[in-house]
C-alpha cells in the first residue's frame, strides 16, 4: 500500500458531532468525506445536518445527517443505535461539538448555571458518546476517536489578545478543553490493545469575523502570522482518522501555527 493509499478513508464510516457547524465542524466533515468516508454529521438540528449533507452529496460525496443532543444521554444512545442500524458500524468518531450555553462570559459574569450547562454537554456528553462508541469499535476490531480540544486546553488564554475589544474568554472553555485532553489519553491507554486509537486535535484561533483589533493582536503573536482558515485543520483530521497514523494514539496534535511553541 502506498503512502497516499494509507490516507484513504474509503469503506470507513465517520460520525462528526456538530459536523454541520460553520467553524471546525464543516471543515472536518468535508475533509473526511473527500477522503472517501461515509460521513454522518450529528447535532441537535436534524434539519441543518441534512441540509449540509445534501450539499456534500451534490459534489458526489457520501454524506448523511442525524440528530443528537449531547446533553441528553438517551439521545446519544439513540444516535449510536441509529448509526449501527443504518451503517453497521462506526470506524471514526470526531467530537467537535461545544455546549455554547456553557461557554459565555468571563469569570465575573459566569454563574453555576453556565458551569452546569458546560458540565452537561461538554463533560457528561463527551463521556457518554465515547463510552458508547468505543465499546462497539472495540468489538468490531478497531476505530479512531478524535476529540477537538484547543490551544487553551494546554496553555492559558492571553488576556492581551482581547484588549480594545468586548470579547471575553470563558473559563469554562479552558476547563473543558484541558479535561478533554487527559480523558483522550485515558481512552488511548485502556482501549489500544483492542484496536481503538484516541487522539486530540488542538486548533489555534479560527478566522470568524472577529474584530480587527483582535485579529491584529493575534497575528502579531502567532509565529505563522495569521489565524486558521477552513483548510488548516483538514489534513490533520484525515491523518488521525486514517491508517497513515495507525501507530499514533494518546497524542494531542497542536494545529496552532506555532502558538504553543513560544
- Kindly tell me if the per-residue pLDDT of 69 is higher than 90: yes
pLDDT, mean of residues 122-129: 95
pLDDT for the residue 23: 84
Show Cβ contacts of residue 10 under 8 Å, excluding neighbours closer than 6 positions: 35, 36, 37
* Residue 91 to residue 89: CA distance in whole angstroms: 7
- pLDDT tens by residue, 107-116: 989 999 999 9
Q: How many CA atoms lie within 13 A of 242 on its CB side?
A: 23
Helical (H) or strand (E) element with 201: strand 196-203
Handedness of CA 242, 246, 248, 250 (dihedral sign): positive
CB 41 within 8 A of CB 19: yes
- Kindly tell me if the per-residue pLDDT of 231 is higher than 90: yes
N residues, the chain: 262
Q: Which residues are catalytic?
A: 173
* Residue 76 to residue 68: CA distance in whole angstroms: 6
- pLDDT tens by residue, 150-208: 999 999 988 999 999 999 889 999 999 999 999 999 999 999 999 999 999 999 999 99
Q: Which residue from 26, 18, 155 is spatially nearest to 99, judged by alpha carbons?
A: 18
Domains of the chain in start order, with CATH, are 3-253 (3.40.50.720)
Q: Which residue from 117, 118, 120 is spatially nearest to 128, judged by alpha carbons?
A: 120
Give the number of other CB atoms < 10 A from CB of residue 211.
13
* Residue 90 to residue 113: CA distance in whole angstroms: 34
CA torsion, ordered 186, 258, 29, 156, to nearest 10 deg: 50
Q: Which residue from 26, 9, 4, 6 is spatially nearest to 17, judged by alpha carbons?
A: 26
Show Cβ contacts of residue 47 under 8 Å, excluding neighbours closer than 6 positions: none
pLDDT for the residue 6: 97
pLDDT for the residue 101: 84
Amino acid at each position: 500500500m502506498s503512502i497516499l493509499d494509507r490516507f484513504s478513508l474509503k469503506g470507513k464510516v465517520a460520525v462528526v458531532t456538530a459536523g454541520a457547524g460553520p467553524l471546525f465542524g464543516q471543515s472536518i466533515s468535508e475533509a473526511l468525506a473527500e477522503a472517501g468516508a461515509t460521513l454522518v454529521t450529528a447535532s441537535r438540528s436534524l434539519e441543518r445536518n441534512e441540509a449540509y449533507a445534501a450539499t456534500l452529496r451534490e459534489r458526489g460525496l457520501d454524506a448523511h445527517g442525524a440528530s443528537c443532543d449531547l446533553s441528553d444521554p438517551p439521545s446519544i444512545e439513540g444516535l449510536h443505535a441509529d448509526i449501527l442500524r443504518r451503517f453497521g458500524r462506526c470506524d471514526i468518531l470526531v467530537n467537535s461539538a461545544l455546549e455554547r450555553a456553557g461557554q459565555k462570559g468571563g469569570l465575573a459574569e459566569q454563574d453555576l448555571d453556565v458551569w452546569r450547562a458546560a458540565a452537561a454537554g461538554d463533560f457528561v456528553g463527551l463521556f457518554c458518546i465515547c463510552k458508547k462508541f468505543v465499546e462497539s469499535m472495540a468489538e468490531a476490531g478497531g476505530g479512531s476517536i478524535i476529540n477537538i480540544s484547543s490551544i487553551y486546553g494546554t496553555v492559558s488564554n492571553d488576556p492581551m489578545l482581547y484588549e480594545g475589544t468586548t470579547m471575553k474568554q470563558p473559563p469554562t472553555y479552558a476547563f473543558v478543553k484541558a479535561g478533554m485532553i487527559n480523558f483522550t489519553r485515558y481512552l488511548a491507554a485502556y482501549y489500544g490493545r483492542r484496536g481503538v486509537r484516541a487522539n486530540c486535535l488542538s486548533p489555534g484561533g479560527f478566522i470568524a469575523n472577529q474584530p480587527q483589533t483582535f485579529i491584529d493582536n493575534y497575528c502579531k503573536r502567532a509565529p505563522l502570522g495569521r489565524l486558521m482558515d477552513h483548510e488548516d485543520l483538514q489534513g490533520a483530521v484525515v491523518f488521525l482518522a486514517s491508517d497513515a497514523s495507525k501507530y499514533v494514539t494518546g497524542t494531542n496534535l497542536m494545529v496552532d501555527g506555532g502558538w504553543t511553541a513560544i
